[in-house]
Every structure is written in C-alpha cells, then in structure tokens.
Structure 1
C-alpha cells in the first residue's frame, strides 16, 4: 500500500500506540463481519425456499429472483465505494448501510409474522395456488430491496476501512483472510442454525434472529469509531479519470515529447527534495493528457483548464485500471458457474432425500453451508500451512494471481463433479424413471461439488481482493475491494441470462428438474470455465511481463534524466 499524505488521515484515538489501535480495529471489524454474515445468510440463503413455500412462486422463478438479489447485492458495493471515496468516507457509508439493512430485514420478518402479508399456502395436491396480492408483493420487495441496499453498501466498504488500518501488504493480506474467515463463520452459522429454525420451528423466529444479528453487528461497528483510522475522501476519482480521456482526445494531434519537463507532474516532497513523475510508454496515447501547453497552467503552476490538462499521476492511474481490466473480465466467467450452481443446488436439494437418521432433515438452503465450511477450513490451511510452506521452499509465497489460478482449477473440478452427480440423481429419480425401484438419492451426494467450490473460493476470492487492492490507485482503494463484489454481481446477472437461455433454447431446465438435463448445463459451464482459465493464464502472463517492462523503462528514463 502506498503511503497516504498524513493530512488526509485521521488516526484513531482509543489507544496512543498505532499498533494497539490497529489490533483493536482488526478485532472489532472481524467481529462485525461475523455478525453481518450471520444476518445476511439468515434471510438471503433461504430466500428460494421462502418464496416457494410461503409466497407460492414457481421453483425456477424463485431461483431467478434469488440470482437477481445476489447480483444486486454484489454489484452495489461499487456504487457505495464511489460514494465513500468521493464524498463521505468508509465509516459513514457503512454505518448508514447497516441501518438500511436492519430496516429491510425487519420488513421481511414482518411478512413472516403477519398472516395478512402472505398469500394463502397451497393445499396438498393442488395444481393452482393463490399468487401474492399487490400489497403483499410490494411489502416483500421493499424489504428485500432495503436489505440488498444495506448489504451492498456495507460489506466491502467495511472491509476497505479495515484494510486502511494497516500500512503494508502483508498485514492487509492477513486482514483480508481473517475478515473473510469471520464472515464465513457467521454465514455458516446462519446457514445451519437460522435456516433450521426457519424450516423446523417457524420463519418469523429465524428472520427476527437475523435482524438481531444485524443490530448487534451495527452496534459493535459504532463502538469502534474512535479506534479506526479514517481516510478523508479526496473528491470523485472517476471525474479525474474522465478528464484524462477528454484531455488526451483534445491533444491527440500533439507529438509525444521526449523531454520529461514537457509533462505536467504533481510534485511530491521527498527528503526535502522534489521528485517529478514521468509517464510510462504503455498506453502512450493517454500521455497526451499530461502535455503542457501555453495557457494550461498559471504562474503558480496550478491547472487553469481542468479538462485540457491532467497530472502524470492521473494518467498513470487510468493506465493502471486499463491494465487490470482483462483480468477483471476473466473473473466474471469464473464466478458465473458458482452463481448458477448455488441456485440450482438448492433446487436439487428439494428433490433428494434430505434426512439424516430417523428424524433430522437438512433444510434445502443449508446445503450451501458446505461451501462456507470448506472455504473457512481452507482459508486457515492456506494462511497457516500452504503459503508458509511455499515461502520456505521457494523463498517467496505464491503471488495473488497464482492463488486465483488455483481457484480456477477447483471451480472447474466442481462443475465436473456437479455434472456427474446430477447424472446419478436423474438416474435414481422415481419421477424421471417411474419403473425404477431405486431409493431417492441422499443429499450427501451433493457435498463433494460444494466442497470443491469452497476450496476454489478460498484461493481465488482473497487473491482477487488482495490483487485489486494492491494494484489500484490510492484514490480508488474502496473501489478496488468493491470491484470484486461487482464481479460477482455481474456474474449473477450473466447466470440469469444463461438460465433463461437454457430454458428458452433447450429442454434442459423445466420447472421439474427431474424432467430436465441439468447435468448438461453443468458440462457446458465446465467447458466455459476451462476456456476462461486459458484466457486467464494468458492475461496473467502478459500482465506480469508488461509491468516488468514498464518498470524497466521508467527506471531507465529516470536515470537518463538524472532523477534517480
């Protein structure tokens, strides 16, 4: 992490020592992450079953709504990050979002508490069910919308606030791993305890417990206000990036100068001296934006016409975003199979034997807890065993991109196993094979595919987060973490389109999964994942070599100018 200007940082005041303050902030934010994971999973993970059982939605429609909710929940952090970076800072945005999320869960809880806010349940054997009324639908959607807005605005903004407490990449990487560990523990608790209560006791108790967890997390977050290091927003960074494009286009006919003094560079104090920034050759067209012309600056060196001249640092910031964009795109197709699998696995769970023993029945939504358990265990193994072992053997730990690459492999394996397991489920299904005497497949068969996906997430998710956080410009640190959420959000939208395409163009996804071919869907996803993995490897290799080449060019230019 590049050191920020001290004038832009407000240090926490709960402890005189920076190390003690950072440790307390670390602990508090990890606790908050756990409670918010519990609160979110309590209503979101069981949404498909709730819509089917209590609001009489068709299964595939409920799954699509679930994907829309998840897509919005993951995409909204980028908007919250822009607001935090540009105007208010991380703490105010996260605080307001926690409150909005609490109000949303309260409204969802009211739909489960008040009979007037739900349609009449379907009678056994009935072919038609009463749809929800306009008031019932509106109340449900308002509750879901507020909950989604709250979760989207708080999660990654809070994580960025936590990362801002530390000054080096190693500490930040440890924070990312442990914050997600706590979030996964909270989510896993919600997927087991709260979902069991919702299906075995009653929905309202589970939802109100979810609201309570949100309120506790919000209170803990507010308690730590005096301990946190707050970084002041510096205005909209995206406006300055837009200025680079406009200025470069307006000066596109100018020749690229060889003299570094021809560029407008932000002067930085360093050891009582001055260090001028020099633009790199990569994406050289953008260098036009930093070329000084007569009338662009006044006698004090201040820019007169903002949309005609930009600093070299602004140009380099935009180049940095362009440089990582191919890797960002590869992550979308990495997350799309996971999005499809999450919703389809819940529908699969509704068709199999979910009993363990004579009396206990696993809630269908709880099956996704295997991803959380697997990811949580492997995050610990990675942080405490694998990475330290790799560092001892090779002298350095795996890079962030190498970690993401391993995640790709496990996600592909998860899709392959999903296809094989679904083939077995179809073979043993009594509805698809009326003459079959085979007992319905146990839900335990769904576990291996979820465990593999969990291992993949443990590798690729923190790796992506750390990579973007380290590579993004300082002014876009909140956006760097939120962009990982945006990736998942776009992946959910792509999954919605993919499911619709399979429904309209093929016979693979009917309302009754036993009459379809979900296994073929998984095989297609595995093939797409394998192709995307090849694309990722190419992007990762080119990104690494390009950065090294640019560093060499920059160093060479600095030496020639006598600046280094």
Structure 2
C-alpha cells in the first residue's frame, strides 16, 4: 500500500527519495548475499541438519525487502503520474501510459531471464549488485533531466480534505440545502484570486452539506475559519468522483482474480507436463509465465503504433479507456476458456496414461508438451495490453488533480487484492475438494 503515499512532498522530491530507497535496498541485498556465502554456518559432518541464519542476517534481509517495497510502491506510480503530467492532450497521456507499460514489461522480461540466470549460475550477490547499479543509473538519468520537467506545486494530503468533507457533512446534516451558489464555499483561484461560483451536483446530495456556509465558518478574507466544519464545493465534488469510480475499480478486482489464479495454476500445470524444447533444452517451470510479459510488451507496442491510429482513421474517434478495459475483459475471458480446454485435455491425457493420483517425480509428467499452455498465456498478455494502460489512463483522467499519484497506483492495489483473494480461493477449493 506504499503506492498511496500522501502527496505532502513534491512528486520530484518523493520520487528521488524513493529511488534512493530502492538503490539502498539492492545494495543491502547484494551485501547480505555476498557475505552470507562466507558467513553461513556449515552443516555438521554426517548430518543433514543445518543451522539457520542468525537474527542479524534475517534483519538485514527484511530491512532490504522493506526498502524495496517502499521504493517500488512509490517510484513506479509517481513516475507514471509525473510523466503524464508533462502532456496536456489526453491522447498523448494515453500513449505515454502505453509506452510506460511497454518499458515495464520489457524490463521484467530482461530481469526474469538475465538476472535470474546470473543469480542461478554465478551468484546472488552479483545479481542484486547489477540491480543496484541500474537503479542508481536510473536515479542519475532522472535527476539529470530535472530542468526539463514540468513541476507541480506541492500540496497537503488529499486524504485530509476527503475526511473533512465527510466530517463537515455529518456535522451540518441538519442545515437546509440551498439552491443559491453564494451559500456555498468556493475555492479561490491562485492565478487571479477569484473564486469560481458553481453549484454542487445533486448526486450524493448529503455531502453538499459540507460546503454550506454558516455563521463563523469563514474569515473576513474569505478563508476557512473552521476546516473541519466547512469545505469547498470542489472538495465535495472530488469525493463524489471517487465514490462514482469505486464500482469500476471493484469490477477490475474481479478481472484480476482469474489472472492471479491462472498465474499460479499454470506453474502447477507446467510441472506435470513435458517442458522440453528439442532434446537439450528444458523450459524452467518458473519461466513459463514470461510468455505473458513478452505478449504484453509486444501487443502494447503494436496497439499504440498500429491498431489505435488505424482505428481512429477508420472511425474518426479514438478508443476510450472504458472500451480498452472492456476489450481486455473479453481477452481474459477467452484466455480462461482456452485454459479450461487445455486442462481438460491434460487430465484426459493423464487418465489415458494412468497417471492420475500420482504425486511428483518423473512418472507424474503427462506426455503433453507445455507449449500447449502458451495460447492461454498469450491471451492474458493481450488482455493486459488493453486493460492495464486503459485502467491507469481512466483513473488519471477521472481522479481529482490532488490525487493523480493515487490514481496511477489504483491498479497496483487491484493486483495485490486479487492475489490475496486468489490464494484464499485456492486454499478454500483444496479444503472442500480434498
């Protein structure tokens, strides 16, 4: 949940500190991995029992993981917001999000192959060290472009203003709602020191009580005298926007849960299938899901360069974020259907070869190539190429200005919730079916 850090600091300063946090995390992990190889206790001669790591070693590991979580949660999505803020045209912002996700997926592919190879065949310390170097280079490149960025003015926590709306509305619940704009408090524009007198919308009308002015709420200069008793119309509308978008966010959780379940089940399927490519190469079971990353990176680029421009030329209008999300839903449904067909085929093959009920070992491997899993993984990748950038673009467009950083992090919360729910569902299914 570190991705929802309040925007008390400027995005640039926050991003710099969190990138440094990520660098330090990789440095700690690299140092620990290198030293642990020399300091770890050896197993007793003639015994299979080995002493575990010391409390200090565990503390270093957990500290490094904590730093990495803080850095990753903030950097990934503040960077997305900062990049989108450089553009005024929504189409340019959507294109930026596409290439942001392309870079993300491509980097995941490189790290999943290259870094994992280094850690498996050379050393964990070198693998983490390479990550630390690239994190540091990224920080240097980012800071080098500082003078070219469009900077946002640092503000207070947006969560406080949302809480103020609720508290003020409850405290003024007995105040009669007015139909006159002058009876509501309006924010003063910093540019011309004038307020924009607009009426609050009728939807979620109870919240409008929070912007109603009563005696003693406003200072002579027009500022708010009692922050927890009066808020502006804009703050009320900001909260309403979040309430309206919540059902869409919740529906995305249901989209992500099958993806999370399939991600786990695909690994288990691959373990029980023939993973050989030719006579010499065998696909590592942990690398099977790289197909999703490659598919996503490829189709994000194809969509941005070919499909979206051609669609606009043919129809005269661009695909909306909602349409992209809906298309992603369709591809995920198709992927789940393909997955069900493949699993039925795998179980049938296992039954024909009398392999059902066997646990582990080579005897339990079904004579069916793991390549049959690729279509469902490619389908998931295509779906992600549509709905992940679409979700981020939608939230960025719809969220209040003060909460843009949170907007780009909403998809991260969706993924985390989906993986927790999927784990619970898998455990529940196992306990019921045995």
- Does TM, normalized by the shorter one, top 0.5? yes
1:431-470 equivalences under 5 Å are 432=356, 440-470=367-397
SS of residue paired to 2:289 = helix
- Residues 104 and 346 of structure 1: CA distance in aligned 2, closer, same or farther (over 3 Å): farther
**Are 2:30 and 1:109 aligned?**
yes
1:236 paired with 2:157, answer yes
Which deviations, in whole Å up to 9, do the C-alpha atoms of 1:357-388 show, x marking residues without a partner? 23333333322221111111211222122222
Q: Is 1:187 aligned to 2:108, yes or no? A: yes
Which runs of structure 2 are paired with 1:319-338 in the superposition (5 Å)? 319-338=240-259
Are 2:346 and 2:366, in contact at CA under 8 Å, matched by a contact in 1? no
Q: Distance in 2 between matches of 1:272 and 1:237?
A: 22
2-structure distance, mates of 1:494, 1:308? 39
Q: CA deviation at 1:270?
A: 8.7
Which residue of structure 1 aligns with residue 402 of structure 2? 475
- The alignment partner of 1:325 has SS state of helix
What is the rounded CA distance, in whole Å, between the counterparts of 1:423 and 1:367 in structure 2? 19
Distance in 1 (CA, whole Å) between partners of 2:91 and 2:129 is 39
How far is the alpha carbon of 1:451 from its aligned partner? 0.6
Identify the match of residue 321 of structure 2 among 400, 412, 427: 400
* CA shift for structure 1 position 401: 0.6
User: Alpha-carbon deviations, 1:6-62, whole Å to 9, x = none?
Assistant: xxxxxxxxxxxxxxxxxxxxxxxxxxxxxxxxxxxxxxxxxxxxxxxxxxxxxxxxx
User: SS state of the match for residue 277, structure 1?
Assistant: coil
Describe the SS at the equivalent of 1:441: strand
1:163-312 correspondence runs (5 A): 163-268=84-189, 275-312=196-233
Does residue 1:354 correspond to 2:308, yes or no?
no
Question: CA-to-partner distance for each residue in 1:42-90, whole Å, 9 max, x for gaps?
Answer: xxxxxxxxxxxxxxxxxxxxxxxxxxxxxxxxx32113xx2xx2x2121
Q: Which residue of 2 aligns with 1:141?
A: 62
Q: How does 1:516-531 map to 2 (within 5 A)?
A: none
Cα deviations by residue, 1:386-413 (Å, 9 ceiling, x for unpaired) = 2222222322111111110111111122
Post-superposition Cα deviations, 1:469-518, rounded to whole Å, max 9, x if no partner, equal 000111111111112211212222222322332333332xxxxxxxxxxx
The verdict on how the C-alpha distance between 1:409 and 1:129 changes in structure 2, with shifts beyond 3 A counting, is farther
Could you say if the C-alpha distance between residues 208 and 355 of structure 1 is closer, same or farther in structure 2, counting changes exceeding 3 Å?
farther
Classify 1:427/1:213 alpha carbon distance in 2 versus 1 (closer, same or farther; 3 Å): farther
Instruction: Measure how far apart 1:180 and its partner are.
Output: 1.3
Residues 331-354 of structure 1 show CA distances to partners (whole Å, capped at 9, x for unaligned) of 111112222222333344344333
Return the offset for 1:309: 1.1
Mapped partners of 2:42, 2:265: distance in 1: 26
The count of aligned residue pairs is 423
Tell me, which stretches of 5 or more residues in structure 1 are unaligned?
Answer: 1-74, 508-564
1:205-255 C-alpha deviation (Å, 9 max, x unpaired) = 433333332222222222222222221221111111111111111111122
- Structure 2 residue runs of 5 or longer lacking an equivalent are none
- RMSD across aligned positions (CA): 2.8
C-alpha contact (below 8 Å) 1:98/1:150 kept by paired residues? yes
Distance 1:408 1:343 in 2: 19
1:295 Cα deviation (Å)?
A: 1.4
1:489 equivalent in structure 2: 416
Counterparts of 1:382 and 1:451, CA distance in 2? 15
Residue aligning to 1:368:
289
User: Against the structure 1 CA distance between its residues 151 and 275, is the aligned structure 2 distance closer, same or farther, given a 3 Å change threshold?
Assistant: closer
Deviations 1:303-357 (A, max 9, x none): 1111111111111111111110111111111112222222333344344333322
